[in-house]
Chains A and B, each alone.
Chain A
Amino acid sequence: KAGVTQTPRYLIKTRGQQVTLSCSPISGHRSVSWYQQTPGQGLQFLFEYFSETQRNKGNFPGRFSGRQFSNSRSEMNVSTLELGDSALYLCASSLGGLASNTGELFFGEGSRLTVL
């Protein structure tokens, strides 16, 4: 069974540019959530999508957006990049998502974004 696939694995952008990251969940999983990982800050929740609908959103500015397609694949977009957006962006898939009282998250290996 294939795991969660994130592309690209590494990318370098300059301030002001925009970036799109992609996540393919485990087959059969309808929930995809996105996290930003930075040293000292741990995993910060960005948003969750379930069956193409955004179900939860973290405390990030509107420059961070996402969407989910009918095949459950998800993309997140960051516009007008800032130096502070440099981070590892992780996506996680799960069967029931956050609506499940527990619900194991299966993470991808992440997309490492560097903003110069």
Chain B
Amino acid sequence: GENVEQHPSTLSVQEGDSAVIKCTYSDSASNYFPWYKQELGKGPQLIIDIRSNVGEKKDQRIAVTLNKTAKHFSLHITETQPEDSAVYFCAAKKSSGDKLTFGTGTRLAVRP
């Protein structure tokens, strides 16, 4: 089955700096890649997603890039703010009917 690896497991940045989280997937048939943000005491929430026919997608300060050849995708957060502090999960899905496979998460801390 699909395997998703996520790095780093923890990341600490200064407020205003950029943060990058990287994920690799194993199944070349995967075609949907969402990112979820989990704040303390809450359930994960979708923040951005990308399909395999697109190389990059942006939404204000966050962006996701996808390299299908290398089978990896990344989350980029620019101008980080303290409210960006959370655990971020990447995920991959192969096809209709297939389950979503999550990475192990990255705990991001933004220092004020």
A98 to B91, CA, bound (A): 13
A105 to B6, CA, bound (A): 20
A4 proximity list for chain B (CB < 8 A): 43
Q: How many chain B residues have a CB neighbour from A under 8 Å?
A: 27
Write the nearest CB–CB distance from A62 to chain B, whole angstroms.
18
Write the nearest CB–CB distance from A115 to chain B, whole angstroms.
21
Write the nearest CB–CB distance from B111 to chain A, whole angstroms.
22
Q: Do A102 and B102 form a contact, CB below 8 Å, given A4-B43, A107-B45?
A: no
**Interface membership of chain A positions 86-116, coded 1 if the CB is closer than 8 angstroms to chain B and 0 otherwise:** 0000101000001111101101111000000
B112 at the interface (CB under 8 A from A): no
Q: Which of B20-76 contact A (CB under 8 A)?
A: 31-32, 34, 36, 41-46, 49, 51
A48 at the interface (CB under 8 A from B): yes
B78 at the interface (CB under 8 A from A): no
Q: How many chain A residues have a CB neighbour from B under 8 Å?
A: 26
Report the stretch among A39-47, A66-74, A77-85 that lies at the interface. Answer: A39-47
Closest to A112 in B: B41
In contact, B41 and A45 (Cβ under 8 angstroms): no
A sample of 24 cross-chain residue pairs with beta-carbon separation below 8 angstroms, ordered by A number, consists of A4-B43, A33-B99, A40-B9, A42-B6, A42-B104, A43-B89, A43-B105, A45-B99, A45-B102, A58-B99, A90-B44, A101-B95, A101-B96, A102-B34, A102-B49, A104-B46, A105-B36, A105-B44, A105-B46, A105-B100, A107-B43, A107-B44, A108-B43, A109-B42
Binding site for B on A (CB under 8 A): 4, 33, 35, 40-45, 48, 55-56, 58, 90, 92, 98-102, 104-105, 107-110
